[in-house]
Amino acid sequence: DTAVSQTPKYLVTQMGNDKSIKCEQNLGHDTMYWYKQDSKKFLKIMFSYNNKELIINETVPNRFSPKSPDKAHLNLHINSLELGDSAVYFCASGTGVGNTIYFGEGSWLTVV
């Protein structure tokens, strides 16, 4: 069974569209994350949720809205997509404090 799964794996969409990426973890972890990997492979934290509560919100445009319906799910909704949003988005989960963090396989978003 995949520990952290995210869908879709690949997404190509036009500028201005709204899209969502879903993430689920079956590890029983309390904390989930979204990371963004840019074209230069640089990874940066976007959001962190603990037990459905937003803990960390880095300087991400408010077009990005995470939603956590329960602690096993953290979805990412992106409004009015821009070319610069093209990246790989990784969902991750962990136990919270001083822990190992496990990543999903990534969602490759291309905005054209």
Partner 1 sequence: GEDVEQSLFLSVREGDSSVINCTYTDSSSTYLYWYKQEPGAGLQLLTYIFSNMDMKQDQRLTVLLNKKDKHLSLRIADTQTGDSAIYFCAESKNSGYSTLTFGKGTMLLVSP
Which residues make up the interface to partner 1 (CB under 8 A)? 31, 33, 35, 40-45, 48, 50, 55-56, 90, 92, 94, 96-106
Would you say 15 or 54 has its CB closer to partner 1? 54
Long-range contacts from 35-42, C-beta under 8 angstroms, 24+ separation: 35/89, 35/90, 35/91, 35/92, 35/103, 36/87, 36/88, 36/89, 36/90, 37/87, 37/88, 37/89, 37/90, 37/106, 38/87, 39/86, 39/87
Would you say 69 or 98 has its CB closer to partner 1? 98
Q: How far apart are CA 104 and CA 32, in angstroms?
A: 11
CB of 17 to partner 1, least distance (A): 24
